[in-house]
Amino acid sequence: MSKVTLKTANGSYDILVGSGLLSQAGTLLKDRGFSTGKVAVVTDTRVRKLHCDTLEKSLKDSGFNILVIEIPEGEDQKSLETAGRLYETLTDFYAERNTPLLALGGGVIGDLTGFVAATYMRGVPLIQIPTTLLSQGDSSIGGKTAVNHGQVKNKIGAFYHPRLTISDISNLGTLNTRELSNGLSEIIKHGLILDADFFEYLEENIDKIRAMDEQVLENIVARSAEIKARVVEKDELDLGLRNILNCGHTVGHAVESVSGLKTWHGEAVSVGLMVEARISNELNMMKDIEIERLENILKKAGLPTELPNLAPEKLLEAMKHDKKVAEGKIRFALPKRIGEVFITDDVSTSIIEKALVN
Ligand SMILES: NC(=O)c1ccc[n+]([C@@H]2O[C@H](COP(=O)([O-])OP(=O)(O)OC[C@H]3O[C@@H](n4cnc5c(N)ncnc54)[C@H](O)[C@@H]3O)[C@@H](O)[C@H]2O)c1
Ligand SMILES: [Zn+2]
């Protein structure tokens, strides 16, 4: 098992990564001072069928009184309506200030449950139990919780850290190939922006990752969590440094929005990383050989590297409307070389266009 500790302004918590951790959840909670009493598990239909029994058994064996709240799958559930239903169910269960909420699922369950935990009775303890590669390597770390509102993603939210994160690598075994690939782009991004050795490790082990080698998966989830945790610690409220995590996202978000939110986030970020690496190349930073390495690893990871069939003008327009725009200028977190990143809002439209149509 690997352990990453994240220090926050109000304390610190552990991110545990390893195989078979779900069956130890009861003990892990007790070890961290949760007295046996009520716990509420929030999960979705698919994850409940696949993994919830293991969690329930572990909690029961440790003497907890469990309420399982199942919601349908999908991004649509990240809504105030679903949050409202969760508040009601928790009220019926007589959940109290000290009743922990356990988020068992992917990023959707993590974001929604985190938001409910932050707001129900002004905050109840949150335990993240991410089950997708995207949520284990990225979204469960950093305390951002949210629901969508209208057409806007993550419009209503709160910064709220869990008391413990349990990433059970064995749970990844039930994801399909595309879902596993989708989770890899943010992990590759972490290597690209801050850790050249990790990037190289990913290059060397990509076949093992895709063959679901649990030791390699544990290593990459733990390293990815560590890289993100170190950034979050320095900028908990996203006021500056955390911007570097947006590498690939200026273009990635534009792809998501122009495709009507039909493109998967990880796949959009993969394409975004390629376009932004080309912008960096135009600015004489990323070298041709490094662009090639990036393209190779993304391809081997099963991720797209070409823009889908979307009009470049529309993408540019979407970038201008993105929240990362400061005083009318499009802001990028561009790879400088493998393992380094820089922020700039000084990229000419012609360079962006050139990178988009490449
Ligand atoms: N809070 C953050 O910092 C942050 C960062 C990035 C993304 N996100 C959010 O994360 C969400 C995307 O997360 P996601 O990609 O995990 O999607 P998701 O939660 O929708 O999960 C994808 C699908 O996989 C299924 N699933 C989950 N675990 C499984 C398992 N072990 N085996 C089989 N199926 C499983 C789910 O039922 C779902 O159908 C988005 O809403 C995004 O906004 C948040
Ligand atoms: Zn992202």
Per-residue pLDDT, averaged over 194-217, amounts to: 98
CA 303, chain centre distance (Å): 16
Q: Is 168 in the pocket of ligand 1 (CB under 6 A)?
A: no
Give the atom of ligand 1 at the shortest distance from the alpha carbon of 142.
3
Model's pTM, two decimal places?
0.96
Number of domains observed in the structure of the chain: 2
Q: What is the number of the ligand 1 atom nearest to the C-alpha of 135?
A: 16
66-86 pLDDT tens trace = 999 999 999 999 999 999 999
CA of 107 from ligand 1 middle (Å) equals: 4
Distance from the alpha carbon of residue 266 to the mean position of ligand 2, in angstroms: 7
Share of the chain above pLDDT 70, in %: 99
CATH number (domain holding residue 228): 1.20.1090.10
pLDDT at 16 over 90: yes
Q: What is the mean pLDDT of residues 323-340?
A: 86
Q: Where are the alpha helices (DSSP H) in the chain?
A: 25-31, 45-47, 53-61, 80-92, 107-119, 133-134, 177-194, 196-210, 214-234, 249-258, 265-282, 288-300, 312-321, 349-357
Residues 168 and 187 reside in one and the same domain: no
Is the same domain home to 332 and 345?
A: yes
Same domain, 117 and 263: no
Same domain, 15 and 153: yes
CA of 132 to the centre of ligand 1 (A): 6
